[in-house]
Chains A and B, each alone.
Chain A
């Protein structure tokens, strides 16, 4: 028997793993952007005070955060074509499912952030004649954004790691590539170790970026 743990066996496959990492990165970016935009719209709908908007948003949020993302990914890949005629490749199905899923979490984070801005800020804006939308855009959301930095950062990291679920439908992302390499080399532990490091390299800068943002905000307000 050779060495118990021989990381060198992975080296020939590094280009494959790098392309998997690139897919993971793109998957993460697309679903974060989709999730943040949709999450913000959902939060505003819930806060609108209009039932016609608040209720669908509420239903959406509860539906998507109470069912497993893995189920959603598989459903969007296999369930969407027969139901809607829309056919997506594994990457598209995963990006859509992950984005829609994380939007529900962003929506709740953003809603809590907006509600945490004191009501007196709304009042100060109102007596200056600012309308609801102007107030939201220039007074409330910038303050809410500072409040939600930490939970937003955590959720982004959670999502970027969560793209690994896309391996279930064969999207050629990092974990999927890793699984194939492991099958070829019979060295799952080594391959998974390299993959874990790759995920860390991808997500740790995100953590650092959010920490830096928080520090900058704290300095401006001190």
Chain B
């Protein structure tokens, strides 16, 4: 299932003013693998994703995707810059373009950035909409869709660019509970088909089922990493244990 090293993050530091949000993060992601990042709020997990997506400038360190550099605090000699669309991202708040139909949301970037013709872009869009179960919603505006449908459309939009890595930033956190499942199902399918994914989520069930590895972050650092069975059943670090017991304890109350 998993192969070569695709993403490598080295000694990544991110600061907001005098606050250090990421404090020397190292992270490797193998091609075709799904990595789930968990951790308390403020641990820096979303910021890590945003740095990899180049939405945030970094203070120090290097992010490389398959030998091409994504971001670096130093000049990276011969290394080429990665194409922006090689890394796709899906947000908590969907961020569809509200003035465009679902179909136009999907085709805009492929036509402008990849130079696809309208027919080709629309064919690709309709295929992907079928995959995420939105074939009938191509002509609808985002506001007419439920949250789950919007998020599935956003995933399809990201896939239009055929990214090599997909980042999911708490993509089910803004959804009504009954809509979470349909989005996770799409992500499961995606992972099964070999998409490399980095997922920040509070859905422990998803982490258990889909993740090849789970990464626990706290205070801007990677504390522990391991296969879900191991990390959930027998966490090595006290902080991981404390976080998981808090989380599971809260789940038990519901």
Contact = CB atoms under 8 A, between A and B. Distances in A.
Contacts of B55: 123, 126-127
A26 to B, nearest CB: 33
A221 B161 contact: no
B87 interface: yes
Interface string B85-106: 1011101010111110000000
Interface stretch (A40-48, A128-136, A167-175, A192-200): A128-136
Contacts of A123: 55, 91, 95
Question: Secondary structure at chain A's binding surface: helix, strand, loop or mixed?
Answer: helix
A138 B108 contact: yes
Q: Which 8 A-B pairs have the closest CB atoms?
A: A129-B85, A128-B109, A124-B95, A129-B84, A127-B89, A129-B113, A120-B95, A142-B99
A128 B98 contact: no
B83 interface: yes
B54 interface: yes
Of the four ranges (under 10, 10 to 19, 20 to 34, 35 or more), the interface on chain A belongs to 20 to 34
A51 B108 CA distance: 31
B112 interface: yes
A65 interface: no
A130 B143 contact: no
B134 interface: no
Contacts of A142: 99
Of the four ranges (under 10, 10 to 19, 20 to 34, 35 or more), the interface on chain B belongs to 20 to 34
A73 to B, nearest CB: 38
Contacts of A134: 112-113
B158 A129 contact: no
A130 B99 contact: no
Nearest to A221: B143
A121 interface: yes
Interface of A: 120-121, 123-131, 134, 138-139, 142-143, 146, 220-222
Nearest to B98: A221
Contacts of A128: 84-85, 88, 108-109, 113, 157-158, 160-161
A127 B158 contact: yes
Nearest to B110: A128
28 contacts: A120-B93, A121-B95, A121-B97, A124-B95, A124-B96, A125-B109, A126-B53, A126-B54, A127-B84, A127-B89, A127-B158, A128-B84, A128-B85, A128-B88, A128-B109, A128-B113, A128-B157, A129-B84, A130-B108, A134-B112, A138-B108, A142-B99, A143-B97, A220-B99, A221-B98, A221-B99, A221-B141, A222-B143
B81 to A, nearest CB: 12
Contacts of A120: 91, 93, 95
A131 B108 CA distance: 12
Contacts of B85: 128-129
Nearest to B106: A128
A129 B97 CA distance: 15
A180 B53 CA distance: 68
B143 A124 contact: no
Interface in B122-145: 141, 143
A130 B109 contact: yes
Given A125-B97, A127-B88, 4 more contacts: A120-B91, A124-B97, A127-B87, A129-B113
Contacts of A146: 99
A129 B109 contact: yes
A139 B108 CA distance: 9
Contacts of B160: 128
Contacts of B87: 127
Interface string B151-177: 000000110110000010000000000
Nearest to B53: A127
B23 to A, nearest CB: 24
B112 A130 contact: yes
Nearest to A139: B97
